[in-house]
Each structure stands twice: as C-alpha cells, then as structure tokens.
Chains A and B, each alone.
Chain A
C-alpha cells in the first residue's frame, strides 16, 4: 500500500511536467492544425535561460523564472515569425510545417550543443529558495520531494490561469474563435496573425516555466527536447487541441508509465505508452477529449 501511494505521488509529479509541456503542443495545434515539434527545443532553451539567469546573472529565483518564461515566449514568437509565417503566407501544405518544425528543433538543439556544450548542468541547490533546499517531506509513509510539490503547485497555478484566460477574457475568446474557424473569425474582425503570435507567446512562456521546473527536478541538457516527445504523446492521448484533454492525458500517461515501471519493469514502460497511443488513435482518433476527428499530422 505504501509503495502504491509512493508510486502514485511519483506519477503525479511527472504528470504535472508533461501537462505543462503538452498544453503548448495543444494550443498551437488548436489554431494552426499542426504539431509544433520545435516546442521541445523551446522548453530546453527555457531551462537554459532560467539556469543562466540564476547562476550567471545572479537574479533572485522568482525573477529567474520570469526571465525564463519571457525569453522562451520570445523564442517561440521568433520561431513563428521566421520559420512558420513565410510558410503560412505561401499557403504551404501542413507537411511543410511539420518538416520545418523538426528542422528548427534540430537546429536549436545542435546550436546549444555547439555553443554551451553537451554536458548536463544542475541547478545549484544553494541558489534555490530555502523551502526547496532540504530533502523530502514525509507524509505518513510516503516521501514527497519539495521540488515535486512546488512543481505541482506552479503547474496548477499556470494551468488554472490559462483556462481562466481562455474562457473569460476577450483575447481568450479570440483564440477560441480562431481555433473554431480562422476564416470566419477573421471576417468578424479578429486578426489571425495576432492570435497566432499570442498563442505562440503563451505556449512559449509555459514552455519556459516547464523547462526550468524540469531542469530543477532533473538536469538541464541539450537533449531535453527529445524527452518532451512524451508530452506530445500525452497531448494526442488527451486529444490534441483540447487543453483539459492535454492535462488529463498527461496525468494518465505519467501514472501508467510509473505503475508499469514500478510493478512490471522499466523495459515495458515505453512499450505500454506507445501501445496506448496507437490503440487510442485506432479506437478514438480524437483522443479522450478531442472534439473532432481531424487529420493528426
């Protein structure tokens, strides 16, 4: 029972990171109808921004977080302007967007390897707030890592803020309308170019936060972006384009992974996650909460 509870906590802590990453995929997909595979690289850059803001610039922890979110948002918008906008202007097929995204991702990852270097970096614990410095918190027979707890809280705050923003502000409504039908909403006076920038900025900011959290929990390294592929699976699992779906998919995927590696073996973990992905695509292509069954490129 203790082991079960501990594994449940382990799963939730991984799930909350997946969720932050997955909403970025989902947001872009809902507007642009393509999977932005460069999102993982933005997450990785966010982690480096946060790391250097804390260690080199010596900024306080909260400010470093803010800097990471802001710079990652900037990178995401820049990526949209430089890589995707020329394609949009030319009405390029969606396949081109995906190839461009992959190319951008490889470019960013290798630029980091070439300039900063491939060796992983750890957030120095003495620079973290005192609450995060010492070991685990014991609740009954279960140990909860302090960073995990903070991560869960930050994730919940970010996601709730995002949902409130989407549902209750005019800008949020504009995003919803554009997601529903870009042409019709443009006719109603919503500037699609602006909405796209907004969506990339929000996704990028969340990516920055996710990157710093991931870097704090594990390490900061250039190959991080490959690991974020899991959050893409989670987004598909929950239903690409649906924000609650991305969150639910992330938590479910992380729990399944943790229990498979905890009770069966780690070797079966990826086998199970990909079987679930394939089964989901066969049985219900729109995912758990996806609205329509569209081409999931």
Chain B
C-alpha cells in the first residue's frame, strides 16, 4: 500500500518533470524580496512590477531572442527581508527552479550573502536597490562575476548627501542616527561622514539602534544633547517615520536628511507632519516624464502608486532582457557576458555597467517633502 503510493508519487513527479522540460519556449527568471516583514511594501511593489512586465511581454507574443519568441515566467520567493532566508531562496532558485537569472535582492543585507551563490551557480543576479559596494565587490576587492546592479552605490549617495548638507544648506554640525545591524545603514553613514568631514564639517554625534526597534527616544536624546544643525538618518522609511515623530516630540526641530531608504508611498502618512521640509536622495524624480508611463500603468493595474523599487526592478529586468537579446542566448555565462557591456536607457537614468558591475555616471535626485508631496529639488550629476 505504502510502496505503491510512493511509486505513484514518483510517477507523478516524473510526469511533472517532463511537462517542465517540454516548455522550452519559456524563460524562467527568478525574483526574491520581502513580501512580509518591515519592508514588505517594497517587496510587493517589485513583485507586482516584474509580473506586470512579464504579462506585457507575453501578451505581445514574448521576448524576441535570436529570432525566436519566448514567454517570460517569473519565479518569486519571499525572503522576509532576512539574510538567511535570502540565501535559502537564492539556492532554491538556481538549483531547483533552474532560473536563467535573478532580479530583486533589494536590500544590501540580503544581496551580500547571496552574491557568492550566484558566482558558484553561474546565474547572474541584477540587484534592484542594493546600494552597498560589497554587493558586487568582495571584501578583498574582487568583483563578483555574476552580480550586477541597477542602482548607484552608497559611497556616491553618501557623498551627494554630505555635499548637499554642507554646500547647499550650509550646515556644519551633523548628527547621524543609524541601524547598527544593517550594512546599508552603517555603510551609508560611514560614506556620509567621510565626505562631510572632508568638506570641513563635523559629525557631532553618531548614535545607533538595532533593527526592529520602535523607540528611538534614548538615542535621539543623545543627539539632542550634541546640538547638531542637521540630522542624517540612513534608514528605511518606517524607522524614519517613527524616529521623526519622536524627534519632534523631544523638541528636536532640525532638518532630517536621508537616502534612498526613505522614498515610499507610506512615508508621509506614517510620519504625519514630522517630516515637513526634510529631504532625501532618490534614484529618480517620481513626477518626471521618464517615470510617467510606468507610473500610470502600475496605478491602473494595482490601484496604488508605484514605489521606488518598482522603477528600480523594472530597470533590472530590462538589463537582463537586453543582455539575453544581445547575447542571442539565455544561459548564465552568456547573459553574464552581455550584462558586462550593458548600455541602455532605463526609467531611472542611463545605465552603463562599469568594471565593478555598477552603473557608472547615474544621476542622484534630491527630493524635498512638502505637505503630502515629494517635490524634486535638484539633480546631481556623478561628475560634480
């Protein structure tokens, strides 16, 4: 009885396996990101976007690769915003699902441990918003051959933030509030500090909290005592909203400045008036003409606004499709080789992959929070 049922199961599995092998006109692309947890909003926005794009391509008959049309299939997994979980799902995507490439891996904390897995499996990963330098380059300075990204990096973002605080806002004493166990936050803090001090500014307080924290009053009280004239918070929107409210409660009225962890449709509704006049660095101008087609399509399809991650993962998937089309093949090594010479126009700017697998010369956009809106202020070119 038991043996026969196992036999049946095996036969069924074999059938499924055959069915999978027959669908040779389908290309599987993996995606992973947080569908639950603190940054679920962004993960869901990414997944919505890649599925929308795949549906659009498939409706037109598929993606044209070397004269033949292929259907796109997205294989999604939830990494819960957790690095261990990210490693598990990345392994599953390359070994079980046998995807040709992966997009997503939005957080640096998840993308860094996944990078060696991609190299070993020879499956390319194009990260959407993982901005820490170590995502594409190892500690010892070697480039991960199979890891790329669609976004600019933290050293650049930190430099722009410091430049803006010092030159444009004429602030000289900065305080930093960072998430101590998140490489994105600690990395960006360090680059901001270096650039700000190089310009002649002073970092008067550098305090931290651990992720998941909801009460920032103790570190904020420390910041208040140091009397800074601007506060840099390289964190994700939910922490920023809470910290901003509590800072105002403690009588801290300085401008808060942040990075690309801030932009979210929920930021302002969560923070209320606490973020009025505060500013952050972004990858694009949400209201700009480049973003409009996707903004409208996303809104029409899902009934809510596209998040920053929607635009970033859009460009990441475009990079993969462009690479497959140029390589006229979709095996890992061919895609990898083509990705190295990527030179396309994305929604978030011109993407030309450099020797360290980062887009070189991408612009940074400074956005100011005015009432319920995120208003574009100034564009920084990578050359300035």
- Chain A proximity mask over B149-187: 1 for CB below 8 Å, otherwise 0: 000000000000000000000000000000010000000
Cβ A136 vs Cβ B250 within 8 A: yes
B-side contacts of A143, CB under 8 Å: 249-251
Cβ B210 vs Cβ A145 within 8 A: no
Cβ A10 vs Cβ B238 within 8 A: no
Docked complex Cα distance between A3 and B217 (Å): 11
- The A interface, classified by DSSP as helix, strand, loop or mixed, is helix
Interface size class of A (residues with CB under 8 A): 20 to 34
B-side contacts of A279, CB under 8 Å: none
Docked complex Cα distance between A227 and B212 (Å): 9
B-side contacts of A265, CB under 8 Å: 207-208
The answer to the question of B65 belonging to the interface, with a C-beta cut-off of 8 Å to chain A, is no
Docked complex Cα distance between A116 and B180 (Å): 30
Interface residues of B in 205-247 (CB under 8 A from A): 207-210, 212-215, 217-219, 221-222, 224-225, 238, 241-242, 246
Partner of A262 from the list B208, B221, B242, B272 (CB cut-off 8 Å) is B221
Given the interface contacts A118-B36, A122-B270, A219-B270, does A262 sit within 8 Å of B249 by beta carbon? no
Interface residues of A in 161-189 (CB under 8 A from B): none
Partner of B180 from the list A2, A120, A125, A266 (CB cut-off 8 Å) is A266
In this complex, how many residues of chain B approach chain A with their Cβ under 8 Å: the count is 33
Given the interface contacts A119-B40, A267-B210, does A258 sit within 8 Å of B249 by beta carbon? no
Q: Which residue of B lies closest to A267 (CB)?
A: B180
The answer to the question of A103 belonging to the interface, with a C-beta cut-off of 8 Å to chain B, is no
Given the interface contacts A118-B37, A266-B213, A267-B210, does A258 sit within 8 Å of B218 by beta carbon? yes
Partner of A6 from the list B213, B215, B221 (CB cut-off 8 Å) is B221
Cβ A136 vs Cβ B37 within 8 A: no
B-side contacts of A6, CB under 8 Å: 221, 224, 250
Docked complex Cα distance between A262 and B272 (Å): 26
The answer to the question of B54 belonging to the interface, with a C-beta cut-off of 8 Å to chain A, is no
Cβ B270 vs Cβ A14 within 8 A: no
Cβ B37 vs Cβ A10 within 8 A: no
Cβ B222 vs Cβ A135 within 8 A: no
A-side contacts of B241, CB under 8 Å: 122
Given the interface contacts A119-B41, A219-B214, A262-B221, does A135 sit within 8 Å of B248 by beta carbon? yes
B-side contacts of A122, CB under 8 Å: 241, 269-270, 272
Docked complex Cα distance between A145 and B274 (Å): 14
Q: Which residue of B lies closest to A214 (CB)?
A: B214
B-side contacts of A267, CB under 8 Å: 180, 208, 210
B-side contacts of A96, CB under 8 Å: none
The answer to the question of B266 belonging to the interface, with a C-beta cut-off of 8 Å to chain A, is yes
Docked complex Cα distance between A6 and B249 (Å): 12
Cβ B215 vs Cβ A14 within 8 A: yes
Interface residues of A in 243-280 (CB under 8 A from B): 257-259, 261-262, 265-267, 269-270
Partner of B238 from the list A13, A14, A120, A227 (CB cut-off 8 Å) is A120
The answer to the question of A138 belonging to the interface, with a C-beta cut-off of 8 Å to chain B, is yes
B-side contacts of A135, CB under 8 Å: 248-249, 251
Whole-angstrom distance between the Cβ of B120 and the nearest chain A Cβ = 32
Partner of A125 from the list B215, B224, B272 (CB cut-off 8 Å) is B272
Given the interface contacts A136-B251, A266-B208, does A119 sit within 8 Å of B266 by beta carbon? yes
Q: Which residue of A lies closest to B271 (CB)?
A: A122
Interface residues of A in 221-248 (CB under 8 A from B): 223, 227
- Chain B proximity mask over A1-24: 1 for CB below 8 Å, otherwise 0: 011001100100110000000000
Cβ B225 vs Cβ A3 within 8 A: yes
Cβ B217 vs Cβ A10 within 8 A: yes
Docked complex Cα distance between A136 and B274 (Å): 12
Q: Which residue of A lies closest to B215 (CB)?
A: A14
The answer to the question of A218 belonging to the interface, with a C-beta cut-off of 8 Å to chain B, is yes
Whole-angstrom distance between the Cβ of B110 and the nearest chain A Cβ = 17
Whole-angstrom distance between the Cβ of A263 and the nearest chain B Cβ = 8
Whole-angstrom distance between the Cβ of A297 and the nearest chain B Cβ = 26
A-side contacts of B225, CB under 8 Å: 2-3
Given the interface contacts A136-B251, A143-B250, A219-B242, does A266 sit within 8 Å of B218 by beta carbon? yes
Docked complex Cα distance between A116 and B253 (Å): 34
A-side contacts of B248, CB under 8 Å: 135-136
Docked complex Cα distance between A120 and B251 (Å): 25
A residues sitting closer than 8 Å to B (CB atoms) are 2-3, 6-7, 10, 13-14, 113, 117-120, 122, 125, 135-136, 138, 143, 145, 148, 218-219, 223, 227, 257-259, 261-262, 265-267, 269-270
- For the complex of A and B, 8 pairs with smallest distance between CB atoms: A261-B218, A10-B217, A262-B218, A145-B249, A218-B214, A143-B251, A118-B40, A266-B209
**A-B contact list, 12 entries, CB within 8 Å:** A6-B221, A14-B215, A113-B36, A118-B36, A119-B40, A122-B269, A122-B270, A257-B218, A258-B217, A262-B218, A265-B208, A270-B210
B residues sitting closer than 8 Å to A (CB atoms) are 36-38, 40-41, 180, 207-210, 212-215, 217-219, 221-222, 224-225, 238, 241-242, 246, 248-251, 266, 269-270, 272
Given A227-B214, A258-B218, A267-B208, 14 other A-B residues pairs in contact with their CB atoms under 8 A:
A3-B222, A6-B224, A7-B221, A113-B36, A120-B38, A120-B238, A122-B241, A136-B250, A219-B270, A259-B218, A261-B209, A261-B219, A266-B180, A266-B210
